[in-house]
Amino acid sequence: MRNQSVIKIVLSAVFISLVFVATYIGVPWPFASGGYMHLGTLVLLIISITFGKEYGALAGGIGMGLFDLFSPYAMWAPGTFLVRMLMGYVVGMVAYDNKKEEQGTSLVRNIVAIVAGAVIMIPGYYFYEALFLTDFKAAFASIPGNLIQFTLGAFSLVVVPIISRIKQNYEL
């Protein structure tokens, strides 16, 4: 017999850690006031699509928020926490198929989920930067880096089917 609460706590911690570490794998983006290119978005999208909105929200908000707190980008932490938590939640929600009661099995839903994530992240970071860190004109410099983040994130469409099979085998 499995204790589902323990499994959920452990998976949440693992996913938060994976996003945190993946966000460290990157290089600074020189054309933005706080832009940073990393693999965290890719990992967040994989988790959100494959495991759902709750795991996606926690992994994105806490994992990337903690990264910002422990990096030179600490001033981004509040915005990152909110934007990535909302992004992870919405991506996971869109990727869920109500009719089949399956998470992340529809390629079309997964593509729409990634687009929905971009629609949340790009304006979210733009407005956070414009309102709290720079101004509306300077914040435009971050948009290309955020678009590149989602170009990298699109590779999640290749990884999700593999992770879904593993998930089925272990009944996660």
Q: Give the residue extent of every domain in the chain.
A: 4-170
Strand pairing partners for 97? 102
What was the pLDDT predicted at 3?
85
State yes or no: pLDDT of 28 exceeds 70.
Answer: no
Cα within 13 Å of Cα(64), Cβ side:
31
5 band by pLDDT with thresholds 50, 70 and 90: very high
52-84 confidence digits (pLDDT tens):
999 999 999 999 999 999 998 999 999 999 999
Strand pairing partners for 38? 26
Q: What is the mean pLDDT of the chain?
A: 91
Q: List all residues 6 or more positions away from 129 whose beta carbon is below 8 Å from its beta carbon.
A: 33, 34, 79, 138, 139, 142
- Cα 171 from Cα 127, distance rounded (Å): 40
Q: What is the pTM of this model?
A: 0.93
CA distances from 36 to 21, 43, 171 (A): 14, 15, 35
State yes or no: pLDDT of 170 exceeds 90.
Answer: no
- Cα 143 from Cα 145, distance rounded (Å): 5
CATH 1.10.1760.20 is right for the domain spanning 4-170: yes
State yes or no: pLDDT of 125 exceeds 80.
Answer: yes
36 band by pLDDT with thresholds 50, 70 and 90: confident
What was the pLDDT predicted at 29?
60
What was the pLDDT predicted at 104?
94
Mean pLDDT value across residues 39-52? 97
